[in-house]
Structures are given as C-alpha cells and as structure tokens.
Structure 1
Amino acid sequence: MMLLSDASCRSRSSGAAVVMAMLLAALAATIAATLLWQQQRWIGEHQHRRDQVQAQALAMAGVQWTRQIVFDNAPAGNVVHLGQPWALRLPAMPIENGSIGGYIVDAQSRLNINNLSTTSTTATSTRAALQRLFAALALPPNLVNTITDWVDADDKTSDPGGAEDAWYLAQPIATLAANAPVRRVGELLLVRDVGPASMARVRPFVAALDAPTAVNVNTAPAEVLAATVAGLDPAAAALLVASRDKTPFTSVADFKARLPRPDLATDETSLDVRSDWFEVSIEAQQGDTLARARALLRRSPTAGEWPVVVWQTVE
C-alpha cells in the first residue's frame, strides 16, 4: 500500500510540474504578445505623431503659398474679381504619402460686422445692410442691435433687443459685453440670442475684419448684394451676379450703371471693386492624418511685400 501511495504522489507531482510548465509557457507567450503589441502600438503612435506634425507643417506651408498667390494675382489697387487665378479652388493634389488642397475667399465679399463698432457712415450703411440680410435669412432683426452692442465701445443699450454689461452680468454665467471688435465671426456665439442655428445661416455672409471695409461687388454673393443695395430683390441680384461673372465690374459706377433701376439707393462708400482682405482654407493629409489650416490675410501697406497673416489656426 505504501508503494502505491508513493507512486501516486510521484504521479501527482509530475502532473503538477506539467501544468506549471504549461502555465509558464502561456505566461511567456502572453508577455511576448503584450510586448509585441506595445511595441507595435508605440510604433503606430510614433508614426501618427510624425504624420500629424508633417500634416500641420504642410498645411501651414500652404498658407504661405496662398500669400504669394494673392500677391501675384490680386495686385494692390487693381480690380479684384472671381475670374482671377487666386479664386480657383485647388483640389487635393497628391504628394508623397499624402495630399494638399485648399481655396481662398475674398473676405470683402461679405459684410464686415466690425463696421458696427465705428461711428462713421460705414457703420450706418452696414447696419442697414445687416438688417436686410437678417430679414432675408428669417433671423430676428433685433440681432443687429445685440451684435452692435457687443462690438461698439459704449455701454449704451440699443433698442429694441440690445444687450450691454447689465444683461450679461444677470445671466447664470456672468460675463461682460466685449465692447470691442471681434477677432473672428465665431465669437458672435457669445452674443445674446445668437445660437448655432442662426450662426450657421449668417456665417457665409459676414466677416470680422480689423478695419472698416466696403463690399466688393465683384465677389459678393447675391444675398450680400441684395442686402447692400436697398430695394434690390434676390432675383435681380442673381442676374447681376450672372452679368459680372461674364464681365466683371470695372468700377462702382459700372456696377450702378448695371442695376435694374436707376432709382435704387446705393451708398458708394460701402461698395468697391477692390479687396485687401482674404480668407484662406488649407487641408493637408499625411498618411491617415488630416490637418486643416485657416488664416486671414491682409494686403501689406508696404508696396512689394506679401500680404500679412492677421491670424492663423491649425487643427
């Protein structure tokens, strides 16, 4: 009986050793697989970061390239129109391990909301144009007052529907009116009653520029033309756009001569055929990583120099 017991013990010990060896082998395989996975993950993350850096650098290089395009193809003091090379939309061009593309928009094709911060006739005409634009977009007309109060320097509330410090301080999250021009259009989301829906409607037709500007009638969409010229209906504005696409306006006088009626009121100080401000959008890809750059360019006051980058973002 003792012999059987010893044999049984040896059998159990041998079995345990086999099980232990199997467990150790499985553990070793798991450790090896984990190390391999971590190495592959590190390589993947490293490659992703490298592609991200390269894509962002490529997008920023695209912004610099557009500075030259504007300098070469929209010369200072000359008529600016959509038939010029700067206005061509560049589709994604393949490059090594990626692509790059983008487009330039004349910022003066839009109504400059920062015109409201001045006390000049430009502010008066812009205010009236924005009221017509908001009406056409089915937006509350009082929004013009709230935006005016946000960008103007005083603390006097515009009626009806305006909002200055007293209103913003009374909100659950207290703040103050900026009482200064906005840097970008997106800042209007901070303004009373301006939500994402109204922002989406108005964004294509407004700009935030650091100086008073006129609307370039050669690049403005029909909605902006109809808002800028009192009494110009959308259909007539669309016909003007079709006409200028064939033959750009050579001057404000040329624009007025092609209006459907001679009695349409125009404030010549709010119109132009030249532009000094341009918005740039660039999209660059490296590997699976996409980077987007946006920038605002202003024509340099110094002759012979490329446009100045007013602001730039890269994502």
Structure 2
Amino acid sequence: MRRRRGAALLVAMLTVTVVATLAAAALWQQWRSVEIESAERTRVQSGWILTGALDWARLILREDTSNVDHLGEPWAVPLQEARLGTFLAADPNSNMAAGDADNTFLSGEITDLQSRLNVASLAGAGVKNDERVESFRRLFELLGLPAAELARLAENLRFAEDINVDNQNAARASLPPQRVEQLAWLGVSPQTIAALEPYVTVLPSNEPRVNLNTAKAEVIYAVGRGISLADAQRLVTERERQHFRAVGDERKFLPEEGKFEPNGVSVNSQFFEVRGRLRIDNVVIEERSVVMRTGREVRTLSRERGAFEAFVPADGRR
C-alpha cells in the first residue's frame, strides 16, 4: 500500500511539473509574441513619424525663397523635445492611440552643412587642390592637430577620387568617405576626427564655398587669408546684428590685407543636414538625413537611422 501511495504521489508530482513547464512555455511564447508585435509596431510608427518630420523639414527649406541663408531664418530654429500629442491634437484623422502619443517625444534640428569645410573639396578627379589644402592647414594649425595627418588625408583622398588610378597606386586607393567618421579610412586618427567634427563635413560634391552667415569663427578663419581668429570672431558678432546680404559686405569688418579664398565663401547654402530624435518610453531612435536644395526643389540625398552620438538640439548657432 505504501509503495502504491508513493508511486501515485510521484506520478502526481511529475504531472504537476510537466503541466507547470508546459504552462510556463506557453506563457513565454505568448509574452515573446507580444514583445515582437510591440517592437514591430514601434518600428513602423517611428518610421512614419521620422519620415513625416523629414518632410516637414524639407517643406520649411522649400518655403525659404530668399537668396540669403542665415541663422535668423525659421529653418535654423531647433525643435526642442515636445510631446507628440501636441502635434496630433489638431489632426482628427490620427489613428495613433492617445496613450502612445503621450509617451512619445519628438525633437530635431536643421544644420547648414556649408557652415563647415568640405573635405571632398580637397581633391577632384584625382587632383589635389592646394588652395583648399591651405584652408585645412590653417584649421589644423588652429586646433593643434598634426600636419602629417592632413598631408596623408589629402594624398589618400586624391587616390580615392582618381578614377584613372594606375596599378601601382591602386593598393593605396580606398573608397571615398561619405561621413566625417569615415575619414579613418584615409589614415586620420580617431582623436583628430573628434576634433575636426564640429568644423568639417563630407558633401556629395566638391562644393568649396562656406556660408559666412552660418559658419563658426574657426571655419571663417580657415578660409580667410591675412585675417586672425579675432577678426573672424568679429564677423560672427557683426552678423548677429545684421546678416551679410552679399559677399563683400564683410569687407568693412576686415583688416586691409584680409581677404577670402577665391570662390571660397558665399551667403547662401544648398546642402543641409536634418536630424530627428524620437523617444518612445525608454526607446530612443535617431535619424539624420542630408538634403540638397536647388531653387524650390529639396531632394533627400541620404538617410541613416539608428543610435548615433549623443544628440542635443542646437541653440541655432551651429
């Protein structure tokens, strides 16, 4: 009798264990399905929102019909983090749940890429541009960066841009960089890239002109000739009072020997970077896009989405 009772108890315990295991497995599968569905829903919704934000930015740039670009225009005002519900409140056709909108925050900014030195202007068709190299030399010297890295950058970029590179130099040729962080392909150290990032960009053309109305003092100093950093800072101060309406307006604020590289400056821009940041609960999704404006047409040249470096909306002076 005792043996039968023990066997029955053992069978009962095994049955309970099997049932509990199956129930736990079913519950885990159900939880996993819910999490996957939730993640996919978040991914799709975030894609829609960030695409809408990019279209909004393109509309702002398209509606800017002036021939002068400066930091007092609507596109230069960053969007501080705001609850998505404030944007959707005016849209009666929105199908996003109120709870989702209240937990979703959007922020972003538009940056003038021609406020920086264009690395792509260092070489074109495999020919190094000594005038542009001089601008970068002044920037490297100002930032205390090694001149050897600039020489390596210019030389390797020349091989990367040369479509007729011979077999002897083919091994030295790398892919042309598309972003500043890819300058590492051309032999630039991470420390130098980090120091250069606020002042340089890589445009999809060798456009050399820097916008005097949006560039930082360090960039203005780099493209200048016969001017000091203090002179460049004075231009920045004066343009905050009244932006430059044409190239040449800055002459009255420069020393007599001061000038700029021929065709090296302008007061308008074609290339812009649009950054959007979406925060849904603890999930942060960021997107950056490069757009080109030609007249009333604003084309998207590239889009990247993912986790980038820490992004804080600018104060409109970038």
Q: Deviations over 1:282-307 (max 9, x none)?
A: 1123454322111111113xx433x1
**Over aligned residues, Cα RMSD in angstroms?**
2.6
Q: Report the counterpart of residue 34 of structure 2 in structure 1.
A: 43
Residues 13 and 181 of structure 1, relative CA distance in 2, 3 Å threshold: closer
Q: 2:219 aligns with which of 219, 224, 239?
A: 224
Residue in structure 2 matched with residue 200 of structure 1 by the alignment: 194
Q: Deviations over 1:59-95 (max 9, x none)?
A: 232222211111113x36x111001110011112212
| Separation (CA, whole Å) in 1 of partners of 2:240 and 2:246 | 15
Cα 1:236–1:304 change in 2 (3 A) is closer
| Contiguous gaps of at least 5 residues in structure 1 | 1-9, 157-163, 170-175
1:311 corresponds to 2:317: no
8 A contact 1:112–1:212 mirrored in 2:
yes
2:50 partner SS: helix
Correspondence 1:238 to 2:229:
no
* 1:285 partner SS: strand
Query: Is 1:102 equivalent to 2:108 in the alignment?
Result: yes
TM-score, structure 2 length as denominator? 0.81
Which structure would you say has the larger Rg? 1
Question: Letter of the aligned partner of 1:69 in structure 2?
Answer: I
Task: Give the residue type in structure 2 aligned to 1:94.
Answer: R
CA contact 2:177–2:185 (8 Å) conserved in 1: no
* Mapping 1:139-150, distance limit 5 Å: 139-150=145-156
Contact 1:63 1:293 in 2 (8 A): no
TM-score (norm 1): 0.82
Inter-partner Cα distance in structure 1 for 2:160 and 2:115? 28
Q: Quick check: 1:111–1:126 contact (8 Å CA) kept in 2? A: no
Contact 2:137–2:147 (8 Å) recurs in 1: yes
CA separation in 1, counterparts of 2:47 and 2:280?
9
Alpha-carbon shift at residue 190 of structure 1 (Å) = 0.3
User: Match of 2:248?
Assistant: 253
Q: 2:309 corresponds to which residue?
A: none
CA shift, 1:54, in A, is 1.7
SS at match of 2:197: helix
State the 1:11 CA deviation.
1.2
| Change beyond 3 A, Cα 1:38–1:265 | same
